[in-house]
Amino acid sequence: MNATHTPAHKADLAVTHVLAQLLERLEHSAVPVGPEQYRSVVTHLVEQFRDSEPGSELGRLLDAYPAASEVYENLNYQHAGLCRSALDASLAGELAARKAIERAMHGVGPEAAHE
């Protein structure tokens, strides 16, 4: 008998909260942080986000930790775009990306954009 087993989503965000807090500390650290440490925290946070259900508790966590919110937004970009970013920042990012793509398609380097 082949049964499909779907893992249960985590309701408790305790580990996600700790990782989000740690990522925020790394982002604002006055001391240089090694790339391995940063990558490890982000990788573990991504794993936690994949097991978390969207909801008000997750929303509050993301509101409290901008670095974690950015990671979450990037994970879900294909479904929701820049859903957690301020509209002005989102629009500016989209326009900058469009201009960069157009320059690349026409073989124009970034230095020509400032002329």
Find residue 52's DSSP bridge partners: 10
Q: How far is Cα 73 from Cα 49, in angstroms, rounded to an integer?
A: 10
% of the chain with per-residue pLDDT over 90: 40
- Does the pLDDT of residue 60 top 60, yes or no? yes
Query: Per mean pLDDT, which of 27-36, 74-83, 98-107 is the most reliable?
Result: 27-36
- Does the pLDDT of residue 83 top 60, yes or no? no
| pLDDT at residue 102, rounded to an integer | 83
| pLDDT at residue 78, rounded to an integer | 60
Residues 6+ apart with CB under 8 A from 107: none
Q: How far is Cα 13 from Cα 57, in angstroms, rounded to an integer?
A: 8
In this structure, what token pair is assigned to residue 106? 């026409």
Split at pLDDT 50, 70, 90, the class of 42 is: very high
Span 72-100, mean pLDDT? 67
Split at pLDDT 50, 70, 90, the class of 9 is: very low
| pLDDT at residue 23, rounded to an integer | 96
